[in-house]
A and B are shown apart, each in its own frame.
Chain A
Amino acid sequence: MFSPDIVIAAVLNGLLTGAVYALVSVALTLVYGVLHIINFAHGAILTAAMFAAFFAHQAGIDPLLSVLFIAPAFFALGYAVQRWIIGPASHGDDRNILLVTLGLSIVIENVLLAAFRSDTRSIDVPYGFSVVDLGFVFLPMPRVIAFGVTCVVAALLWALLTRTDTGKAIRAVAKEKLGASLVGIDVTHIYAVTFGIGAACLAVAACVLLPSYYVNPRVGTAYVLVAFTVVVLGGMGSVPGAMIGGLLIGVVESLSGLYFGESLGQLGIFLIFILVLLVRPTGLFGARA
């Protein structure tokens, strides 16, 4: 139907988009793995981070530079939100955490809407329209950068989770909350740290997304629905699952966009989502139901 060149280009583009999906999904799955709850405020935090990156750019700082302070700022913000809002408000009941994060997302999105209206904004960067020539295919520079940054963040996360005491504590809390607190791990603190790391990952995703994308108060919703799919596909709580799932969904979206047109490409994602939930809710890599 299509020449191999076009299909290969679509696959590569899908992988580049998929890398950002992977980054957003890793943040979601990490929080799920530890708190055992879907964070419905995920998309809203991404949107807020994109606005932060946008206004940093207005002040003359390139997103690739501003990520160095936006990411730590969002770590602090995520830590505070979990420690002083979500934790105390939910009284330790899972169903309450769901509702509190839903409430937070509504607040964040609509405060942004009230402050900035529903205008769509985008930024201009010098590398915005440059391309990388691989000989047989051209790839857009901002997305290649996004892919590279994602790989770096994934490596850092992996090192953090496997090589540091904090990482060990996070994995311990994810496995067995009670046991972890018995050996002296401050579970409340670890919850907040994990939430903070999730928010920092979203801040990085926001900064690499902005040069090739746009921002408005609803922009996060599109990404978070994809992230839900990726996380369920990869197995809730599985970090490698989210990485591979993200890349896979990126390719699926790109190819179904090529074959069926853009609007139905989105539908394909949801159908995969429902199908995976119904047939194998533990995902491709998850062990626990």
Chain B
Amino acid sequence: MTGPVNTSPRTSLLAAYGPILAVALVLALLPLATTANTVLNAMVLALLIALAGQGWNILGGYGGQFSFGHAVFFGTGAYAVALLQSRLGLNAYLAFGAAVAIGAAVGAAIGFLSFRSGLRGSYFALVTLAFAEVFRIVANASPWTGGASGALIKLDMRPENFQFASRATFFWIALALVTAALVATRMMERSRFGAYLVAIRENEDAAKALGVNTFRVKLQAITASAAVTAAAGAFYAQYFLFVDANIAFGTWISVEALLVPIVGGLGTVFGPLIGALALHGLAEATKALAGRLPGADLALYGALLVLAIAFAPNGVQGLFNRLKGGFSTRRAA
């Protein structure tokens, strides 16, 4: 299961960033086509998951370190943005920035502890899962985080509070965040750091033997990964004005964050976005067809995860490339 390796560092800027801008511009037109709140709401959620998945993709897709507990970063971002406003009275935008920074710090701390102990594969997956559980139990029990009843952000709908009456505004902000993450991922892909990270995924020992400081590269990767996923969490809290421990640190977000890049294309720039749009489109369709059967959408996600790994190891994009490749070879023959 590998994404395309950094092919040519000399690809032109237009070829590298053009598609990102084009996709962003097309998506930005959506609120002009529809004003239905349900559609916009679904799109905001899909973009949010794409953002969380982009964070996971940096560490898991490019670096090959599979975290099963990205909820820990999502939840840190969500709780930070809520508590900094409600407890310390911080401005919403400052709180958002601080939440991303705190998420990055938590990522660096967890990364430092686990990578210094040399945890890989199953062990790394387990320790991230355990950290997410510890955060969930503590957030659920501590009076400072509001305990089991969760934390609220006071409703005061003014732009300077990062609260908007129109869903379209939130949609554009989510889109801007996703676009920024896409650009950052592309920059990373084209950088020396990105090449080191892919080298670690392909063969960590070989990368080390060639002089890559694997510990530092993995630490930087988990910090960046945590920051992006924390931004998704912070946006979630700001959008719903509410978090509790089971939303913020729950398994659902750990699963969705890893599912969307895998379905869309692991270790590719557009993978998480494609995966999130495809999955959420599908989930909405199942809801329409199967009604509100509890667990039906998650069961579908699980089945998709297995099917994606079995039949499309490079995700939806890989499937397209394979189809294209199949046609061209047939033409050549």
Q: Out of A106, A114, A277, A289, which one reaches B255, CB within 8 Å?
A: A106
Task: Give the complex CA separation of A112 and B299 in angstroms.
Answer: 9
- B residues less than 8 Å from A105 (CB atoms): 302
Which residue, B1, B64, B309, has most C-beta atoms of chain A within 10 A? B309
CB contact under 8 A between A114 and B309, given known A38-B122, A106-B302, A278-B127:
no
The answer on a CB contact under 8 Å between A98 and B66 is: yes
Are the CB atoms of B306 and A277 closer together than 8 Å?
Answer: no
| Interface residue? A89 (CB, 8 A) | yes
Interface residues of A in 90-112 (CB under 8 A from B): 90-91, 93-96, 98-100, 102-112
Which residues from B are CB-within-8-Å of A96? 1, 309, 313
Q: Which of B78-86, B128-136, B224-232, B271-279 contacts A (4 or more CB under 8 A)?
A: B128-136
Q: Are A103 and B305 in contact (CB under 8 A)?
A: yes
In the complex, A86→B123 CA distance in Å?
20
Would A274 and B255 count as touching, CB distance under 8 A? Answer: no
B122 close to A98 (CB less than 8 A): yes
The residue on A at minimum CB distance from B255 is A106
Task: Determine if A85 is an interface residue (Cβ-Cβ < 8 Å).
Answer: yes
CA distance A127 to B150 in the complex (A): 42
A120 on the interface (CB 8 Å rule)?
no
A134 interface hit (Cβ, 8 Å): no
Given contacts A107-B306, A114-B299, A274-B134, contact A95 B117 (CB under 8 A): no
Chain B nearest CB from A78 CB (Å) reads: 16
Contact with A along B261-272 (1 / 0, CB 8 A): 010000000000
Within 8 A of A (CB), among B103-141: 113-114, 117-119, 121-123, 125-127, 129-131, 133-134, 137-138, 141
Contact of B1 among A40, A95, A114, A267 (CB under 8 A): A95
CB contacts (< 8 Å) of B114 on chain A: these are 277-278
Q: Nearest chain B CB to A47's CB is how many angstroms away?
A: 13
Q: Which residues of B contact A110 (CB under 8 A)?
A: 295-296, 298-299, 302
Residue contact B305 to A102, C-beta cutoff 8 Å: yes
Selected contact of B133 from candidates A118, A225, A232, A289, CB within 8 Å: A225
Is B118 within 8 A of A98, CB to CB? no
| A235 vs B159: C-alpha distance when bound (angstroms) | 54
Q: Is the CB of A113 closer than 8 A to any CB of chain B?
A: yes
Assess whether B288 is interfacial by the CB under 8 Å rule: no
Instruction: Kindly state the separation between the CA atoms of A203 and B299 in the bound complex, as whole angstroms.
Output: 22
A231 to B198: give the CA distance in the assembly, Å.
31
- Which chain A residues border B89 with CB–CB below 8 Å? none
Contacts of B125 in A (CB 8 A): 38, 98
Could you say which interface size class chain A belongs to? 35 or more
Say yes or no: B295 contacts A217, CB within 8 Å: yes
B118/A103 in contact, CB under 8 A: no
- Is A273's CB within 8 Å of the partner chain B? yes
Name B's interface SS. Answer: helix
| Interface magnitude class on chain B | 35 or more
Asked whether, in the complex, the Cβ of A270 is within 8 Å of the Cβ of B134, the reply is: yes
The answer to whether A228 has its CB under 8 Å from any CB of chain B is yes
* Contact indicator A95/B64 (Cβ below 8 Å): yes
- B68 close to A (CB within 8 Å): yes
Q: Which residue of A lies closest to B110 (CB)?
A: A274
Is the Cβ of A281 less than 8 Å from the Cβ of B141? no
- Which residue on B lies nearest to A228, using beta carbons? B126
Return chain A residues, CB-CB under 8 Å to B303. 103, 107
Is there an interface contact between A281 and B117, defined as CB atoms closer than 8 Å?
yes
Task: Decide: A106 near B298, CB < 8 A? Known: A88-B310, A279-B117.
Answer: yes
Given that A96-B309, A270-B137, A274-B130 are known contacts, is A106 also in contact with B66, CB under 8 Å in the complex?
no
Q: Does B235 contact A (CB under 8 A)?
A: no
- Decide yes or no whether A266 CB sits under 8 A from chain B: yes
Q: Which residues of the other chain, B, contact A107 by a CB distance below 8 angstroms?
A: 299, 302-303, 306
In the bound complex, residues from chain A placing their C-beta under 8 Å from that of B130 are 225, 228, 270, 273-274, 277
Q: Output the nearest chain A residue to B293 by Cβ-Cβ distance.
A: A114
A52 smallest CB distance to B (angstroms):
19
A3 at interface by CB-CB < 8 Å: no
Distance in angstroms from A168 CB to nearest chain B CB is: 26
A185 within 8 A of B: no
Tell me whether B131 and A89 are in contact (CB under 8 A).
no
A271 with B117: CB separation less than 8 A: no
Query: Are A95 and B299 neighbours in the complex by a CB distance under 8 Å?
Result: no
Contact A93 B1 (CB under 8 A): yes
Task: Tell yes or no: A157 within 8 A of B by CB.
Answer: no
A214→B123 CA distance, assembly (Å): 30
What is the chain B residue whose CB lies nearest that of A232?
B126
Given contacts A113-B295, A267-B138, A270-B130, contact A99 B122 (CB under 8 A): no
- Binary contact readout B196-215 vs A (1 if CB under 8 angstroms, 0 otherwise): 00000000000000000000
B301 at the interface (CB under 8 A from A): yes
Chain A nearest CB, measured from B122 CB (Å):
4
- Please give, as numbers and ranges, the residues of chain A lying within 8 Å of B66 by CB-CB distance: 95, 98-99
Q: Mark A1-39, 1 if CB is under 8 A from B, else 0.
A: 000000000000000000000000000000010001110
In the complex, A278 Cα to B64 Cα: how many Å? 20
Q: How many angstroms from the CA of A108 to the CA of B133 in the assembled complex?
A: 21
State A24–B120 Cα separation when bound (angstroms).
24
- Closest CB in chain B relative to A226 CB, distance in Å: 11
List 14 additional contacts besides A102-B255, A264-B141, A271-B134; criterion CB under 8 Å.
Answer: A37-B122, A91-B309, A96-B309, A98-B125, A102-B305, A103-B305, A109-B295, A110-B296, A113-B294, A270-B130, A273-B130, A274-B130, A277-B127, A278-B119
- List 12 A-B pairs, Cβ < 8 Å: A89-B309, A103-B305, A103-B309, A106-B255, A110-B302, A114-B294, A114-B299, A118-B294, A264-B141, A270-B133, A278-B113, A281-B123
What 4 A-B pairs come out closest when comparing CB atoms? Answer: A106-B302, A103-B305, A110-B295, A113-B295
